[in-house]
Structure 1
Amino acid sequence: MNIIKYILQGTLMLSLYSCSNKLAYGPDPYAGGKEPVDVVFTELAPRPSQAKPGGEVVFNVRGLLKYKDQIKFYINNIQAQVTNISDSSLTGIVPENCSTGGVKIVVDGQIFAGPTLPIIGKLAIDPTFQSGIGANSSIYSILKTSSNQVFIGGSFTDYNGNAASSKIAGIARITTNGEFVRGMQFGNGVTGVITSMSETANKDILIAGSISQYDTIKLVRNITTISSTGALPVKSTPILNLTSDPAKSNLIAPVFNGGTVSPIAKAFYQNNKVTIVGRFSHYSNNYYTRSTYDNILIDIFPMGGLARLETDGSLDDGYFVNKTTLPHKGFEGVNGVVNDAVLQDDGKLILVGAFSRFNNTQSANNIVRLKADGNFDADFQLGSGANGFINDIQYSKLTKKYIVTGGFTMFNGKPANGMALLNEDGSIDTGFQSLGFAAGSPNYAVQLTNGLILVTGSFGKYNDVIREGLMLIDTKGNLAKDYNNTGRLVGNIYDSLEGTNSLGQQTITLVGMIQSFNGKNNLGNIVRLTLLD
C-alpha cells in the first residue's frame, strides 16, 4: 500500500508542476515571411517557339495580372522588356545580345522558372550529324585523312552503342556524317588513351598519348603507327633464346620501335620525322638484342619533354641532344609543363604551357619557339611573354596568326585578358583585343575558314555579355553579330574539324569532354555545328 501511495503522490506532483510551468517556445521562424505568389507557367510552348533578338514572344503563364507592377522578366538572365500582361500570358521582347536559355519571372523577390527559349541565329547544332549518343568518354583528337577517312581517339570504350557488336577501345573510325564505321582492324584497340593523331606520308596513322598496348601487342611505348585499315604493322623480331623451345627465338613486335616512359601530349609528322612533346623525361625503345621471350629490356635516353624520332621510332640524336656532355643526353627543356605545341611548316616548334625558363638559361614565360634543329629561337619576338599559363595554341593559315588562350591577363606587357593573337614573328597583333572574360577563362580557340574565331572554355561572360562556354568573335575581338545565339556549353573542347554537311553548309565538329550544349545532354562528347552565311 505504501508503494502505491508514493506513486500516486509522485504522479500528482508531476501533474501540478506541468500545469504551472508551460513550455516556452522560440519565435516563429516563418513569422513575417512573404506570402506565396500564385504564379504558374503552363506547359504550352511560347508563341513563337523560337525568336530573334528584338522579336516579340508570348509566354503562357497564369496569375501575373495582380502583380503587374512588381514583375521583372528575364531571358537567359538578361532583363527583357515586358509589353503586355494578362491573366494567362506575358508578352516580352527578346533583348539584344541574348542567347538561348531559360526564362524566369521575379515577383517581389520570388523566382518562377519558365521554359527554354531558343534564339534564332547563324549558329546551330547540325541535325544531319548522325553521331547518336556518341562516345562514352572523352575524345581528345579528331583526324580527317587525305582519303577523307575520319578517325577519333580518346579514352572511350563505346560509340553510339556499337560496343555491343564491335570492340571499341580508345579509337574508332566514323563517317564524315558521324556514323560508326564497322569492319576496321583495330582488334582490341588501345590499352590507355590517345591524345594525338596525324597522318604519315605513306597514309598510316600516327597515334600517341598514354598507350601501353595496341590490340594484343604489349610493346607500345606511348606512340606507334597503324595502317589506314586500323591494323598495327608488326614484324618477327629475333630475341635471345635461353631455352630449348624454338618458338621463343622470335617475338612479334611493332614495326615502330620507340617512345617514352611517360605520356605524350602531342605528336607531329613532318618530312619523314616524328616530333613528340609532353611531360616525359626519357625516350625509350625495346632493346630486343638482349631481351628474352619473357623479359623485354628497355633502352632509355634522357630527354626533357621533347624529342624527334625517325619513322621507325628510333631517336634522331641530331635534334635537341646535348653532345657536349658525356654521356650524351637531351637538353633540359622547360622547367614546368608543356600543355600544347604547334609545328610550323619550316620545322620550327612552338611550345606553350606553364613554365618560366628553357634549358635553364633562356627566359620563356609560358611560351617558347625552337629552331628546326631544336635550339632556342631568339628571333621570336615574345618579349616578356604571358604573365600566366597558356593552355592552347593554334595557327591560322588564313591570317598567318597564332591564337593563344589561357589564364593570363598580359602578353609582352600589353593587356590580353585570357587570349591573344600573335604575328608570325611572335609580336602581338595590336589590331586584336580581348574584351575580357568573367566567371572562367578560355581554353581553346581556332580560326575558321570564314575568318571568325571560335572560342570555348569555362567562362560565363565576354565583354560583360552572357556567353557561357562558347562564342564566335571577329579578328578584332568583337562578338560576331548573329553567331552568338546558342546556349551554354558545359565541358572542355580538345580538338575540332571543319567541313560541310550534305546540305552544303559550313560545319565545325567539336570533340572533347562535353556534358551538355545548348540545352542538350547525351551528346557523347562530340557535336557538329552549322555556320550559316
Structure 2
Amino acid sequence: MISSKIKYIGTVILSLLIIYSCQKKEEIGVNPYEGGKEPFGILFTSNRADPTTALPGEVVRVSVRGLKQYENKFDLRLNEVSTEIVTLSDSTADIRIPAEVSSGIVTVIMNGQIFYGPWIGIEGKVSVDRDYKIVNGFNSTVMGILPHAGGHIVVGNFTDFENELQGGKYLTGIHYINSLGQTSNDMDFRRRSNSGISSIVRLSSGEFMIGGFFTEFSKRKVDGIARLLPKGSLDTTTVAVINPFPEDKPLDGLDTVSSFNSGFINGLVSKVFETPDKDIIVVGSFTIHRKIDYQYSSRDNRRYVNTRVRNVAKLKPDGKLDSTFNLNNSGLNGFINDAVCLKDGRIVIAGAFTNYNGKSVRNIVCIKPNGQVDDSFTNVGGTDLPILSLTYNPTNDKLVIAGAFKTYGGKANNGVVILNTDGTEDQSFKMGDLDGESPNYAYKLNNGRVLVTGFFSKYNGVRRSGLLILESNGVAKQEYNNLGSFAGIPLTITETTSSLGNPAILLGGSIFSVDGYNVGNIVKIEIKN
C-alpha cells in the first residue's frame, strides 16, 4: 500500500516536471532580468576589514568600489547600525565604529538594494573562548553539564562528539570532556544509554544519578532513572530469579541487574535531584512508578509492581518509593519546562499549567520537602503566559524565570524576572524592552550579572542579536554586549574559567552559532570582570 502510494506520487511529480519543462521551452530568449533595478557598480573587493576587530570609536577600513560617486546617497551600516564614514575613496571607506554596537557584517543600502561586506568583530569583555578545543561538538542537544574532576560530564540527546563515533565505541547520552574540551578516558560509561539523558546529579556518596528518556543503560533494563558508580559504570547487583529450565540453563537462576530498583513510565523523567536528607526527587511527565519483584521474575520475564505517582516522586537511597510524598495525587494539568532544587530541599517547577494537586497555580509552583505545595511561594502569584526557562544559582540564592509572559504576580515585565526563594520579585532588576520579541533563557551569574538569550534583535532600542549580559539592575553596558548574533536555545549552564584563567561560562543546549562561529550545541564564553 505504501509502496504503491510512493510510486503514484513519483509519477505525478515526473508528469509535472515534463509539463513544466515544455512550458519553459516556449520562453527561451526572454531576458530574466528585464524589469529589474539598475546595477550601481558597488562591490566589496575584500572579505576582511583592516583591522578585523576594533573598539567602539576606532576607525576601520573596508575595501569597496563604486561608493564615491554616490556620496551622501547611501547608508553604510555595521550590524544594521548606521555608521559614520570618516574618509571615502574610489576603492575604500574608513568607518568609525559606533558607540553601541555588536559584532556583525558591514552593509551598504542604496535605493532599496543591499550590498554585503566583511564581518567586523567588536572588542569587549565578552568573547568565545577559541582555545577551548571543541570544534564540531555534539551532534544533538546538550541537556546537562556537571563539573567533575577538573572536566565536565555532559548529558543530552546526542550520539556522537567531535565525529569520534567508530566501531566498538559508544557515545549515546553521556560523555566526559576534560578542561580543554577534549574527550577524556577518566570516566568509563561502558555501553551507555539507549536514548537521551536529560539530567545528572552527583550524590553525596560520590555516585551519580541520571534521568531521562532511556530504558537501558549498559544493556541493563532501567526505566528513565539509574545510579552510576563514581567511575561512570552502572551500579549493578546480582539477584536470584526464577529459572524455568534449570537443567538446560543452570546459570539462569541468577541475573545481574541495576542496583537502583526504580523506574518511571507513561512519560519522561526531566530532572533528578538529591535532597539535603539524601533522598532523591524525580520530576517529569510520568504517571507510574515501577519496581521489579525479582522473587517472581525470570531473566526474560519481569513482574512489575506499579504505583500511581504523577510528575513528582521521592525515592529513598535504595530506590524505594517514599509513600508519604505526593502519592496518588493528581499532579499538574499541563507541561513541565524546567525544575530546580533549592538549598532547603524545596522543589520549584515551571512550565505551562494552572493547577497542581487541586491547587490553583499559574505556570510556577514550589513544593515543600513533605510533598505539599508551599502556599507562601505560590500566593505571590505566577505568570500570565508559560515559563520557558527556570534557573537557580545557589551561590547568590536567586531564581530566574524567562519566557513570553508579560506579568508576574500581576506586575508588568518583559519576560525575565529574578525571584527570591520565597517567590517574591527582586525589585533591583528590571528587564528592558526587547522590541516585541521574547527571551528563552536567563541565569543570574555568580558576579551578579544576568545572562539572557532569545530570538530578539534589539534591547532598549540598541541592536543586540540574541544574547545579553546585563548588569544586576538590567542595564546593558557596551563592553559586555559586544558579541555578534547568538543562534540557539540554551538548556544548561555552568560557571568555569577560560583558557586564560578569566571567568567564563560553559553553555549547552540546542546551540548552532555564536559571534559568527559554528558551535556543536556547547560553547565556552569568556566574561571578564
Per the TM superposition, whether the score is higher than 0.5 is yes
Amino acid at match of 2:461: D
Amino acid at match of 1:475: S
Instruction: Tell me: CA distance 1:198–1:457, structure 2 relative to 1, closer, same or farther (3 Å).
Output: same
Aligned twin of 2:512: 515
- Work out which of the residue numbers 94, 98, 107 in structure 2 matches 1:95: 98
> What do the CA deviations read for 1:320-376 (whole angstroms, capped 9, x no partner)?
12xxxxxxxx2111111111112112121111110011112x210001111110101
2:266 is equivalent to residue 269 of structure 1: no
Q: Is the 8 A contact 2:289 2:306 kept in 1?
A: yes
- Mean CA deviation greater in 29-38 or 219-228: 29-38
- Work out which of the residue numbers 212, 223, 226 in structure 1 matches 2:225: 223
Instruction: Tell me: CA distance 1:149–1:314, structure 2 relative to 1, closer, same or farther (3 Å).
Output: farther
Aligned twin of 2:312: 306
- Work out which of the residue numbers 331, 334, 344 in structure 2 matches 1:333: 331
- Work out which of the residue numbers 184, 189, 192 in structure 2 matches 1:189: 192
Q: Is the 8 A contact 1:380 1:426 kept in 2?
A: yes
Aligned twin of 1:157: 159
- Mean CA deviation greater in 417-426 or 453-462: 453-462
Aligned twin of 2:410: 413
How many residues are paired up?
Answer: 496
Q: Determine the C-alpha separation between the residues in 2 that align with 1:440 and 1:209.
A: 31
Amino acid at match of 2:86: T
2:208 is equivalent to residue 205 of structure 1: yes
> What do the CA deviations read for 1:117-176 (whole angstroms, capped 9, x no partner)?
11101000112211232112111111013x434200112222123223742111111112
Q: Determine the C-alpha separation between the residues in 1 that align with 2:112 and 2:455.
A: 29
Aligned twin of 1:325: none
Q: Is the 8 A contact 1:256 1:312 kept in 2?
A: yes
Q: Determine the C-alpha separation between the residues in 2 that align with 1:237 and 1:116.
A: 63
Q: Is the 8 A contact 1:238 1:250 kept in 2?
A: yes
Q: Is the 8 A contact 1:204 1:225 kept in 2?
A: yes
Q: Determine the C-alpha separation between the residues in 2 that align with 1:374 and 1:156.
A: 33
Instruction: Tell me: CA distance 1:313–1:46, structure 2 relative to 1, closer, same or farther (3 Å).
Output: same
Q: Is the 8 A contact 2:132 2:499 kept in 1?
A: no
Shift of 1:438: 3.7
Aligned twin of 1:9: none
Q: Determine the C-alpha separation between the residues in 1 that align with 2:347 and 2:460.
A: 33
Higher Rg of the two aligned structures: 1
Instruction: Tell me: CA distance 1:300–1:61, structure 2 relative to 1, closer, same or farther (3 Å).
Output: same
Shift of 1:33: 4.8
2:287 is equivalent to residue 281 of structure 1: yes
Shift of 1:29: 9.4
Q: Determine the C-alpha separation between the residues in 1 that align with 2:111 and 2:378.
A: 57
> What do the CA deviations read for 1:64-105 (whole angstroms, capped 9, x no partner)?
111112110110011112222110111222222200111100
Aligned twin of 2:426: 429
| SS at 2:479 equivalent | coil
Amino acid at match of 2:274: Y
Q: Determine the C-alpha separation between the residues in 1 that align with 2:285 and 2:279.
A: 20
| SS at 1:248 equivalent | helix
Shift of 1:318: 1.6
Aligned twin of 1:235: 237
Amino acid at match of 2:58: G
> What do the CA deviations read for 1:7-64 (whole angstroms, capped 9, x no partner)?
xxxxxxxxxxxxxxxxxxxx99977653211011012622222111222211110111
| SS at 2:480 equivalent | coil
Q: Determine the C-alpha separation between the residues in 1 that align with 2:51 and 2:31.
A: 46
- Work out which of the residue numbers 433, 445, 454 in structure 1 matches 2:451: 454
Amino acid at match of 1:211: F
2:296 is equivalent to residue 290 of structure 1: yes
Q: Is the 8 A contact 1:439 1:461 kept in 2?
A: no
Instruction: Tell me: CA distance 1:430–1:501, structure 2 relative to 1, closer, same or farther (3 Å).
Output: closer
2:133 is equivalent to residue 114 of structure 1: no
Instruction: Tell me: CA distance 1:29–1:196, structure 2 relative to 1, closer, same or farther (3 Å).
Output: closer
Q: Determine the C-alpha separation between the residues in 2 that align with 1:424 and 1:58.
A: 51
Q: Determine the C-alpha separation between the residues in 2 that align with 1:440 and 1:215.
A: 44
- Taking every aligned residue pair, what percent have the same amino acid on both sides? 32
Q: Is the 8 A contact 2:343 2:394 kept in 1?
A: no
| SS at 1:247 equivalent | helix
Shift of 1:378: 1.2
- Mean CA deviation greater in 509-518 or 115-124: 509-518
Shift of 1:496: 1.2
Shift of 1:267: 0.6
Instruction: Tell me: CA distance 1:66–1:425, structure 2 relative to 1, closer, same or farther (3 Å).
Output: same
Shift of 1:241: 2.3
> What do the CA deviations read for 1:454-489 (whole angstroms, capped 9, x no partner)?
112222222232222211011211113401111111
Q: TM-score, normalised by structure 1?
A: 0.89
Amino acid at match of 1:196: S
Q: Is the 8 A contact 1:439 1:460 kept in 2?
A: no
Amino acid at match of 1:291: S
Q: TM-score, normalised by structure 2?
A: 0.90
Q: Determine the C-alpha separation between the residues in 2 that align with 1:163 and 1:156.
A: 11
Aligned twin of 1:497: 494
- Work out which of the residue numbers 303, 325, 347 in structure 2 matches 1:319: 325
Shift of 1:416: 1.4
Aligned twin of 1:326: none
Q: Is the 8 A contact 1:71 1:106 kept in 2?
A: yes
Q: Determine the C-alpha separation between the residues in 2 that align with 1:109 and 1:149.
A: 51
RMSD: 2.0
| SS at 2:205 equivalent | coil
2:255 is equivalent to residue 257 of structure 1: no
Q: Is the 8 A contact 1:239 1:251 kept in 2?
A: yes
> What do the CA deviations read for 1:210-232 (whole angstroms, capped 9, x no partner)?
11111121x11101011121111
Instruction: Tell me: CA distance 1:182–1:400, structure 2 relative to 1, closer, same or farther (3 Å).
Output: closer
Instruction: Tell me: CA distance 1:315–1:513, structure 2 relative to 1, closer, same or farther (3 Å).
Output: same
- Mean CA deviation greater in 344-353 or 189-198: 344-353
| SS at 2:286 equivalent | coil
Aligned twin of 1:82: 85
Instruction: Tell me: CA distance 1:212–1:93, structure 2 relative to 1, closer, same or farther (3 Å).
Output: same
> What do the CA deviations read for 1:188-243 (whole angstroms, capped 9, x no partner)?
211010110110111111111111111121x1110101112111111111122232
Aligned twin of 1:531: 527
- Work out which of the residue numbers 244, 247, 252 in structure 2 matches 1:248: 252
> What do the CA deviations read for 1:410-450 (whole angstroms, capped 9, x no partner)?
11111111111112221122222111224642222112222
Amino acid at match of 1:284: R
Q: Is the 8 A contact 1:278 1:339 kept in 2?
A: no
Q: Is the 8 A contact 1:439 1:458 kept in 2?
A: no
Aligned twin of 1:70: 73
- Gap regions ≥5 residues in structure 2: 1-29
Q: Is the 8 A contact 2:200 2:210 kept in 1?
A: yes
Q: Is the 8 A contact 1:258 1:313 kept in 2?
A: yes
- Mean CA deviation greater in 267-276 or 496-505: 496-505
Q: Determine the C-alpha separation between the residues in 2 that align with 1:342 and 1:306.
A: 12
- Gap regions ≥5 residues in structure 1: 1-26, 322-329
- Mean CA deviation greater in 297-306 or 27-36: 27-36
Q: Determine the C-alpha separation between the residues in 2 that align with 1:72 and 1:416.
A: 35
2:140 is equivalent to residue 144 of structure 1: no
